[in-house]
Chain A
Amino acid sequence: MAATLRDVTTYDLKLAAPLAAGFVLFFVTPLVILLALSFQTDPQGGHYGLSQYVNFLGDRFSLGVLGSTLWLGVKVTALTLLLGYPVAWLHQRSPGWARGVIMLFVLLPLLTSVVVRTFAWVVILGRQGIVNASLSWLGLIDTPLKLLYTEGGVVVALAQVQMPLMVLPIITALSRIDPNLADASSVLGAGHWRTFRKVILPLSLPGIVAGCLLTYAAAITAFITQSLIGGGQMLFMPMYIYQQASTLQNWPFAAAISIVFLVAVLVVVSIFNALGRLSRGYANA
């Protein structure tokens, strides 16, 4: 009898072993090497110390790049939330067939390559692009607006590209809310806006937090979109790291700013996580 009962836990661990091995080999090891590299005091190797970090943290230009990257993430996340929440809400309120259509449009960006999507935005935002052409055709502008190679352009393009990461968790959170709650709120005398503010929004917070977390992490590390739409004048962390490593061959400094970036992102992520835990407790209390 006892022999027929498998120990489920060891079975599970064995199944996870290939993934764990891959994880150690391709993620943990490079990270350790990166960390070690960041403590080298000069590119030729030899001495170890904190000089790369001191360089970074004492350099206003570097801190500016870090700051503008983290700030870019905030702006993209805010815009994605602002545009994405209504889409998720509409999805929740729609009949079955319309839900399918909305979901298709939400998922569409994921079905094309980032490069293709980003070049599409170049076409849309360029001096001769669709936006400028339409505006001048309508007679609203005389000279083309500068849309490409602006931070606004980067934010809009990133918001579109990251939209599914925001919309999907919010849809999940909204679908978990008992529809009777909105009805209960309205018979108790609340209008639509009050019901939304007091019931729907607080109960969808876990989805909002998860969506913001994903969008933020994706936006600040979006190398291709940042560089192609941002152009040469704007520098964000991923490109900065790339330049240091690849163009200037300054590997220790590149490693150090990678680590700083990583820590900064982890701090932001753990703030989001704490918020998420708080909101989940709030919603399930």
Chain B
Amino acid sequence: MVSASRNGPASQRGQTLLLDGITQRYGTSLAVNEVTLDIRGGELVALLGPSGCGKTTLLRIIAGFLAQTKGHVMIGGQSVDGLPPNRRSVGIVFQNYALFPHMTVAENVAYGLDARGVDRATQRSEAQRMLDMVKLGHLGERTPRQLSGGQQQRVALARALAVNPSILLLDEPFAALDKNLRLDMQIEVKRIQRLSGITTILVTHDQEEALSMADRVAVLSQGRLEQFSPPTEIYDAPDSLFVNTFVGSANLLGGVLVDCDRTAGRVRLDAGGMVETRAPKGDLRPGARVTVCLRPEHLSVDPAATDVDTLNGVVEMGLPLGATVVHEIRIGDGSAVKVSEPRIQRAELLAPGTPVRLAPVAPRLASVFAAA
């Protein structure tokens, strides 16, 4: 049965996953609050958010370890709400890998096939095939403890994929790996995910990981879904102040909305100067107090020209960071603003104390939200 579906059409793999108004309550606290995600077949979606925002809870609900307080989980258009984990056709890679320590690597990978009553010979050949896929074909007879962290993770991945699940869940899979290995494994997982075309949910608190790996990113905060968009949109057009500050870094500047339409807005900054922004989020009228978010790379420093009606400041410190230089500028209202520029454009660091003018490198880069 398993091998039959494996040879079947690729559409078998890429099942859709719908989370419909999922709410999870622990006692009186809300761990997950009305989260709705419509995930396409074969998509890699990252659940991104700070620790404690409900990512693991959501994953456990999808896997069936936890019955949600409210809402529905649909896999391939079918509700799985009543089904126990062993009948949901979901694969999981745990943060600590959770390999069975008393079994060999090959036995670990064959475990799910054995549970499905697949015969020994097929179990062995399938386990070998999966291990070859994760490039560990030669280590089948080792025990998990004899493997490095990265190798253990590959085994966990092979074990999860061996039963040909509809959905693959990865809970902070790279958190325990050191930096170089992490990048290798991210590429590896992405390759295998593409190869198998399996719908995948990646839980992470690492924004770079989410942005680089996912087709779409769901940003969560305190159990709520803040935004569900492709990575570039999350970065360039954040829906909320939370997303803007959690993903990438942002300078927050207070100001007053002067005018706006559907495509753009203009804000007079408290610290001086006027910026042209993206269309404000939410119901903002001219005259409203707002927070403007400018990313460090949205700004440039001009030491030559300061003026009364511009955003002026004084250089506090300059740091050369490889391809970029970063300056910290103390502006008129006393707050510090970070500016990051390509080194090609600014070869020399500016000396501390230099008076400068800050200007956006292009119009409509800044995001505007109602003042917090």
Q: At the interface with chain A, which of B89-97, B120-128, B300-308, B345-353? A: B89-97
Q: From known contacts A180-B96, A203-B101, infer whether A189 and B163 are also in contact, taking CB-CB under 8 Å.
A: yes
B145 within 8 A of A: yes
Q: At the interface with chain A, which of B26-34, B80-88, B176-184, B200-208? A: B80-88
Residues of chain A contacted by B100 (CB below 8 angstroms): 181, 184-185, 198-199
Do residues A283 and B102 form an inter-chain contact, with CB atoms below 8 A?
yes
**A285 touches which one: B63, B88, B91, B101 (CB < 8 A)?**
B101
Do residues B101 and A183 form an inter-chain contact, with CB atoms below 8 A?
no
B65 within 8 A of A: yes
Do residues A188 and B111 form an inter-chain contact, with CB atoms below 8 A?
yes
Residues of chain A contacted by B63 (CB below 8 angstroms): 183, 187
Q: Can you report 27 residue pairs joining A to B where beta carbons are below 8 Å apart?
A: A178-B98, A180-B94, A181-B98, A183-B94, A184-B94, A185-B115, A186-B65, A186-B85, A186-B86, A187-B85, A187-B88, A187-B91, A187-B160, A188-B86, A188-B91, A188-B115, A188-B160, A189-B112, A189-B116, A189-B163, A190-B111, A190-B115, A191-B86, A194-B115, A198-B111, A202-B102, A203-B102
B55 within 8 A of A: no
A71 within 8 A of B: no
B159 within 8 A of A: yes
B143 within 8 A of A: yes
Residues of chain B contacted by A283 (CB below 8 angstroms): 101-102
A98 vs B64: C-alpha distance in the bound complex, in angstroms?
A: 25
A191 vs B64: C-alpha distance in the bound complex, in angstroms?
A: 13
Do residues A285 and B102 form an inter-chain contact, with CB atoms below 8 A?
yes
Do residues B145 and A285 form an inter-chain contact, with CB atoms below 8 A?
yes
In the complex, besides A180-B94, A185-B100, A285-B143, 19 extra interface pairs with C-beta distance below 8 angstroms are A180-B96, A183-B98, A184-B94, A184-B98, A184-B100, A187-B85, A187-B90, A188-B115, A188-B159, A189-B87, A189-B115, A189-B163, A190-B115, A194-B115, A202-B102, A203-B101, A203-B102, A283-B102, A285-B102
A184 vs B144: C-alpha distance in the bound complex, in angstroms?
A: 15
A178 vs B98: C-alpha distance in the bound complex, in angstroms?
A: 7
Interface size class of B (residues with CB under 8 A): 20 to 34
Q: Smallest distance from the beta carbon of B323 to chain A beta carbons, Å?
A: 41
**A178 touches which one: B64, B92, B96 (CB < 8 A)?**
B96
Interface size class of A (residues with CB under 8 A): 20 to 34
Q: Smallest distance from the beta carbon of A284 to chain B beta carbons, Å?
A: 7
Do residues A183 and B65 form an inter-chain contact, with CB atoms below 8 A?
yes
Nearest A residue to B169, CB-CB: A187
A189 vs B91: C-alpha distance in the bound complex, in angstroms?
A: 10
A282 within 8 A of B: yes
State the A residues within 8 Å of B (CB).
178, 180-181, 183-191, 194, 198-199, 202-203, 282-285
Do residues B65 and A185 form an inter-chain contact, with CB atoms below 8 A?
no
Contacting A at CB under 8 A, from B142-199, are 143, 145, 159-160, 163
A284 vs B96: C-alpha distance in the bound complex, in angstroms?
A: 16
Q: Smallest distance from the beta carbon of A191 to chain B beta carbons, Å?
A: 6
Do residues B102 and A186 form an inter-chain contact, with CB atoms below 8 A?
no
Q: Smallest distance from the beta carbon of B146 to chain A beta carbons, Å?
A: 9
State the B residues within 8 Å of A (CB).
63-65, 84-88, 90-92, 94, 96, 98-102, 111-112, 115-116, 143, 145, 159-160, 163
Residues of chain A contacted by B64 (CB below 8 angstroms): 187
A190 vs B102: C-alpha distance in the bound complex, in angstroms?
A: 17
Q: From known contacts A203-B101, A285-B101, infer whether A187 and B92 are also in contact, taking CB-CB under 8 Å.
A: yes
Nearest B residue to A283, CB-CB: B102
Q: Smallest distance from the beta carbon of A20 to chain B beta carbons, Å?
A: 37
Q: From known contacts A186-B84, A188-B112, A189-B86, infer whether A282 and B96 are also in contact, taking CB-CB under 8 Å.
A: no
A82 vs B167: C-alpha distance in the bound complex, in angstroms?
A: 40
A178 vs B65: C-alpha distance in the bound complex, in angstroms?
A: 15
Q: Smallest distance from the beta carbon of A260 to chain B beta carbons, Å?
A: 38
Nearest B residue to A185, CB-CB: B111
A185 vs B65: C-alpha distance in the bound complex, in angstroms?
A: 12
Residues of chain A contacted by B163 (CB below 8 angstroms): 188-189
Nearest A residue to B89, CB-CB: A189
Residues of chain A contacted by B159 (CB below 8 angstroms): 184, 188
A183 vs B64: C-alpha distance in the bound complex, in angstroms?
A: 10
Q: Smallest distance from the beta carbon of A273 to chain B beta carbons, Å?
A: 19
A81 vs B102: C-alpha distance in the bound complex, in angstroms?
A: 22
Q: Smallest distance from the beta carbon of A176 to chain B beta carbons, Å?
A: 11
A203 vs B98: C-alpha distance in the bound complex, in angstroms?
A: 13
Residues of chain A contacted by B86 (CB below 8 angstroms): 186-191
Residues of chain B contacted by A190 (CB below 8 angstroms): 86, 111-112, 115
Q: Smallest distance from the beta carbon of A162 to chain B beta carbons, Å?
A: 28
A271 vs B88: C-alpha distance in the bound complex, in angstroms?
A: 44
Do residues B92 and A183 form an inter-chain contact, with CB atoms below 8 A?
yes
A202 vs B111: C-alpha distance in the bound complex, in angstroms?
A: 15
Residues of chain A contacted by B91 (CB below 8 angstroms): 187-188
**B101 touches which one: A189, A191, A198, A284 (CB < 8 A)?**
A284
**A183 touches which one: B85, B102, B111 (CB < 8 A)?**
B85
Q: Smallest distance from the beta carbon of A208 to chain B beta carbons, Å?
A: 14
Residues of chain B contacted by A194 (CB below 8 angstroms): 115
A282 vs B116: C-alpha distance in the bound complex, in angstroms?
A: 25
A283 vs B145: C-alpha distance in the bound complex, in angstroms?
A: 11
Residues of chain A contacted by B88 (CB below 8 angstroms): 187
Residues of chain B contacted by A199 (CB below 8 angstroms): 100
A191 vs B86: C-alpha distance in the bound complex, in angstroms?
A: 7
Do residues B98 and A282 form an inter-chain contact, with CB atoms below 8 A?
no
A284 vs B143: C-alpha distance in the bound complex, in angstroms?
A: 9
Do residues A180 and B143 form an inter-chain contact, with CB atoms below 8 A?
no
Q: From known contacts A181-B100, A187-B86, infer whether A284 and B115 are also in contact, taking CB-CB under 8 Å.
A: no
Q: Smallest distance from the beta carbon of B164 to chain A beta carbons, Å?
A: 11
Nearest A residue to B111, CB-CB: A188
Residues of chain B contacted by A202 (CB below 8 angstroms): 102
Nearest B residue to A189, CB-CB: B115
Q: Smallest distance from the beta carbon of B201 to chain A beta carbons, Å?
A: 13
A285 vs B115: C-alpha distance in the bound complex, in angstroms?
A: 22
